[in-house]
Amino acid sequence: MHLGAIVVIEDEPAIREGVAEILRGAGYDPIQAADGAAGLAAARRPDVRLVLLDLLMPRMDGMEVLMKLRRTHASLPVIILTARGTEDERVAGLKGGADDYVVKPFSAQELLARVEAVLRRSAERPKEVSRLVAGEARVDLERREIGVDGKDAEPLSETECAILGHLAANAGRAISREELLARLWGLSGGRIETRTIDMHVARLRGKLAAAGGENGDRFIATVRGVGYKLGPAILVAEGRPAPGN
């Protein structure tokens, strides 16, 4: 069974080998990199499905790897492996474009569950809506980008597309953070996990606002005590207003 290539960017040989062995045993093809520069090069290979990224790395730290990778591979799933346990540091990684994080030490079961959830989210992204109009911008969920006529398109990450696609597929209905967690990661809600959703929504709102020319809350509205819903400033591809707005 071959489930595809996953890059493991980790400078500690024992941890790197251990993670590679876990992945290999589950049917993945691990590609190991001992520093950030080598990891970035490996992550840009066309056959890579996902990247596991340590933050504290020689030659190029994990946040710089993430930043550079997002410039060229906006939708490639990235899971941060980190010994940094504070919420602020985890939030910084998510704001930088990571899809999820695993705090060391972690079990093989937890690591594989996170990997499978991120890959499943990519495969199960809602297909009912693929194109939207957000103010002055056009959003293409298949190409994963926001475009404005005459300007370069802004890339969207896989997670951002998954959130927007799920909201669009359920336009008119308030979607709870717990539902988004279950849809995107296969996780039940918790304080830090629900904040993870909030950070991704904030980042997506910023991109929509910058391209669409309106306040981000007009594109993704907060439903107090519940979660989020598609806002009144977004139209589906055919030009009909999203129902309930």
Mean pLDDT across the stretch 114-138? Answer: 76
Q: Looking at residue 38, which CATH number applies to its domain?
A: 3.40.50.2300
Using a 10 angstrom Cβ sphere, with 0-12 exposed, 13-18 middle and 19 or more buried, the burial of residue 12 is middle
Q: Is residue 135 part of a domain?
A: yes
- How many Cα atoms sit within 13 Å of 115 on the Cβ side? 29
Buried b (16+ CB within 10 A) or exposed e, 215-233: ebebbbbeeeeebbbbbeb
pLDDT over 50 (residue 125): no
pLDDT over 70 (residue 224): yes
More confident residue, 67 or 235: 67
Instruction: List the domain range (segments joined by +) for residue 142.
Output: 131-236
Q: Which of 204, 57, 218 is nearest to 135 (CA)?
A: 218
More confident residue, 145 or 94: 145
How many domains does the structure of the chain reveal?
Answer: 2
Q: pLDDT tens digit string along 29-50? A: 999 999 999 999 999 887 889 9
Instruction: Match 């990997």 to its residue by tokens.
Output: 115
- Dist. CA 223–CA 179, nearest whole Å: 14
Q: pLDDT tens digit string along 12-25? A: 999 999 999 999 99
Provide the pLDDT for residue 174: 87
Does this model's pTM top 0.85? My answer is no
Q: pLDDT tens digit string along 164-216? A: 888 888 777 888 887 787 667 655 545 456 778 888 999 999 999 999 888 88
For residues 100 and 143, membership in a common domain is answered with no
- Dist. CA 167–CA 229, nearest whole Å: 6
Domain boundary among 71, 101, 123: 123
The mean of the pLDDT values for the chain is 83
For residues 111 and 135, membership in a common domain is answered with no
Q: Is residue 241 part of a domain?
A: no
- Kindly list the distances between the CA atom of residue 86 and the CA atoms of 57, 90, 92, 105, in Å, as whole numbers in the listed order: 18, 7, 10, 14
For residues 135 and 116, membership in a common domain is answered with no
- Dist. CA 77–CA 73, nearest whole Å: 9
